[in-house]
Amino acid sequence: MALDVEVLRSEIRKVYANVASDPKRGYHFHTGPEYARDRLGYPQELLDRVPAEISASFAGVGNPFSLGPIRAGEVVLDIGSGAGMDSFIAANLVGPAGRAIGLDMTDAMLEKATAWQQRLGLRQLEFRKGLAEEVPLDDASVDVVISNGVINLTPDKAMVFREIHRVMKPGGRLQIADIIVQKEVPPAAKEDVAVWTA
């Protein structure tokens, strides 16, 4: 593939930095807690425990929590956590005995998420900068991996899934929501950064 991966990542960062600072601007995708509740089935009681500023920048495509329970004491990794709505929900579900780790590559999203984590004093929640293809966690350290509308943005999906397998404990669970296509993407489209970020 001739696509320049660094150019792609730079363009994706720009789009999601805008979502962090101006979530209601109007994008080619939906944002916000009403969308999460009304279109994706997030229970209101989960959303009520997330700061409004965080849930405003939510831009997922599904509800990974609908795929199975997150239990108290578990370790959850949220790949492509953005402003952290799913990470905050996971932190509330795992409780003080567990751990939720949000991983993202966009500084603006990480700054927003970390500021609220510190403001709320959620010690079981942390945010790390990194790529889905290079997860900065130890082998077999995670009970549940969640991701919401992010793997489709990665150029090396096979590497993402290898990393998920590496960090997941034996018997761990993968609960993702993402975009799929029903037919082959033309080669020219695979090399067009605008298609990836639009």
Q: Please report which confidence band the pLDDT of residue 195 belongs to, taking 50, 70 and 90 as the band edges.
A: confident
Q: Please report which confidence band the pLDDT of residue 1 belongs to, taking 50, 70 and 90 as the band edges.
A: low
Q: Please report which confidence band the pLDDT of residue 148 belongs to, taking 50, 70 and 90 as the band edges.
A: very high
Q: What integer pLDDT is reported at residue 40 of this predicted model? A: 98
In a domain, 188, yes or no: no
Q: What integer pLDDT is reported at residue 185 of this predicted model? A: 83
- Of the candidates 164, 159, 130, the residue with the CA atom closest to the CA atom of residue 147: 164
Domain that holds residue 130: 5-182
In a domain, 195, yes or no: no
Q: What integer pLDDT is reported at residue 198 of this predicted model? A: 58
In a domain, 53, yes or no: yes
Count up the domains in the chain and report the number. 1
Q: What integer pLDDT is reported at residue 37 of this predicted model? A: 98
In a domain, 152, yes or no: yes
pLDDT beyond 90 at 197: no
Do 147 and 78 contact (CB within 8 A), yes or no?
A: yes
pTM of the model: 0.95
CATH number of the domain that residue 143 is part of: 3.40.50.150
Over residues 46-95, the pLDDT tens digits come to 999 999 999 999 999 999 999 999 999 999 999 999 999 999 999 999 99
CA 139 to chain centre: 20
The rounded distance, in Å, linking the Cα atoms of 92 and 121 is 12
Over residues 114-139, the pLDDT tens digits come to 999 999 999 999 999 999 999 999 99
Q: What integer pLDDT is reported at residue 54 of this predicted model? A: 98
pLDDT beyond 90 at 196: no
In a domain, 34, yes or no: yes
The rounded distance, in Å, linking the Cα atoms of 57 and 20 is 6
Q: What integer pLDDT is reported at residue 186 of this predicted model? A: 86
In a domain, 38, yes or no: yes
The rounded distance, in Å, linking the Cα atoms of 88 and 50 is 6
- Across the beta sheet with 125-129, the strand order is 125-129, 99-104, 75-79, 142-148, 168-177
Do 151 and 179 contact (CB within 8 A), yes or no?
A: no
* CA atoms within a 13 Å half-sphere pointing along the CA-CB vector of 15: 19
For residue 127, the cross-strand partners are 102
The rounded distance, in Å, linking the Cα atoms of 170 and 138 is 13
In a domain, 187, yes or no: no
- Of the candidates 19, 21, 22, 48, the residue with the CA atom closest to the CA atom of residue 33: 48
In a domain, 83, yes or no: yes
**Per-residue exposure over 11-38, b if at least 16 CB sit within 10 Å of its own CB, e if not:** bbbebbbebbeebeeeeeeebbbebbbe
Q: Please report which confidence band the pLDDT of residue 24 belongs to, taking 50, 70 and 90 as the band edges.
A: very high
